[in-house]
Copies of this chain bind each other. A is one copy, B any other.
Amino acid sequence: MNPITQELLGQVSDLFGGPIGGAYNIREDGDCAGRQSTEHVKIESKLTQPGIDILVDPDTVGETIYIPAVVTHTGVNDLVYNDFYIGEGADVTIVAGCGVHNDGGSEARHNGVHRFFLQKGARVLYIEKHLGIGDGSGKRVIDPKTHIEMAEDSYMEMDTTQIKGVDSTKRESTAVLGKNAKLVIKEKIMTHGDQYAETNFVVDLNGEGSGADLVSRSVAKGTSRQLFRSRINGNAACNGHSACDAIIMDNGVVSAIPELTANHVDAALIHEAAIGKIAGEQMTKLMTLGLTEQQAEEKIIEGFLK
């Protein structure tokens, strides 16, 4: 495994190339750089598309599945389809970071299309970190698509973080929730330079007692631009909440367009959004404690995105 892959894996999925206990699949520049199934978690190549099927047996509890993908050099355009089938009553963690290294003049791109099928009572913690590195003038692009289908009583939390260095990202996430299913999505994005980040969530609360909580926190520095769009459709007795908090700095631009639609009299939907710069008092307080302006700013942003 090359040192760039090692560095990216370390940052996006806490994998340093050493032995891993659980199931994993490492994708490197469009190829499989390592795979392991376990007794209850099978990882299989798809027959007609690039990508894998991850099959988690019913009642599998406590396993962590790593499926990082890296693009290590310029000119790569990687497209992958990964499907996760989570058996009834299973409770697993899935770590799916993506790192793109670009040291050349062409674009380096990773497009991951992920679909999740949660059977009755299944629980998933899905952690996704996106990172770009390298000194090339070519763009580092990550455009993930995530689709989630949740059966009765299932639960999923999706923690998605874009750390830095991704020049352009367009993130599409859709979810359909059955009876009493709960979905939590926590998104953190920081953009700098002239980066662009776009988020689109569409959640259909179809089942009685279903609920969704979408929380986005973002920081836009430099001349970067961000667009946050979320759509929650309440089609049954359900609860939906969406919040978008954004800090703008320098000449950063942020748009937030949340959309709530109550199609059922027992749907309860709430949204809040706030966009602004760091409050002056916060800066003053930290600077009287001895921090420079830059240190104070970093401290506040670190806390905001934690």
Contact = CB atoms under 8 A, between A and B. Distances in A.
Interface of A: 234, 246, 248-263, 265-277
Contacts of A268: 274-277
Given A248-B262, A248-B265, A256 B276 contact: no
Contacts of A234: 275
A268 B267 CA distance: 30
Q: How many copies of the shown chain assemble into the complex? A: 2
B274 A269 contact: yes
A257 B202 CA distance: 13
Contacts of A261: 253-256
Nearest to A258: B258
Contact of A259 (B256, B266, B272): B256
Contacts of A249: 265
Contact of A276 (B250, B251, B259, B269): B269
A257 B257 contact: yes
A196 to B, nearest CB: 14
Contact of A273 (B252, B254, B260, B276): B260
B275 A267 contact: yes
A248 B260 CA distance: 13
